[in-house]
């Protein structure tokens, strides 16, 4: 089964590290990254979808970051 996550972070190196960590754990990029202004916090934010094949059935209480 394929699971999906959307990684988000302020536009700093922390975002690149978050995506790199997911890739190192077997996640694959899904689609193009996104970039938008977060008016509530006055910062730019980045987002990137990632997917991963897992051998367990999906449940809503899965901890996707631990897969």
Q: In the chain, where are the structural domains located?
A: 2-56
b/e 17-28 (16+ beta carbons within 10 angstroms → b): ebbeebeeeebe
- Give the global pTM: 0.87
Cα distance between residue 48 and residue 32, in whole Å = 7
Is the CB of residue 22 less than 8 Å from the CB of residue 50?
yes
Task: Give the pLDDT of the chain (67 residues) as one tens digit per residue.
Answer: 999 999 999 999 999 999 999 999 999 999 999 999 999 999 999 999 999 999 988 888 988 877 7
Q: Are 35 and 11 in contact (CB under 8 A)?
A: yes
Q: What is the pLDDT of residue 63?
A: 87
CA distance 16 to 7: 10
CA distance 51 to 27: 5
């Amino acid at each position: 089964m394929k699971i999906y996550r959307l990684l988000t972070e302020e536009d700093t190196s922390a975002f690149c590290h978050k995506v790199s960590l997911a890739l190192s754990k077997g996640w694959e990029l899904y689609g193009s990254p996104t970039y938008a202004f977060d008016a509530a916090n006055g910062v730019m934010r980045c987002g990137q979808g990632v997917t991963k094949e897992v051998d367990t059935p999906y449940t809503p209480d899965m901890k996707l970051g631990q897969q």
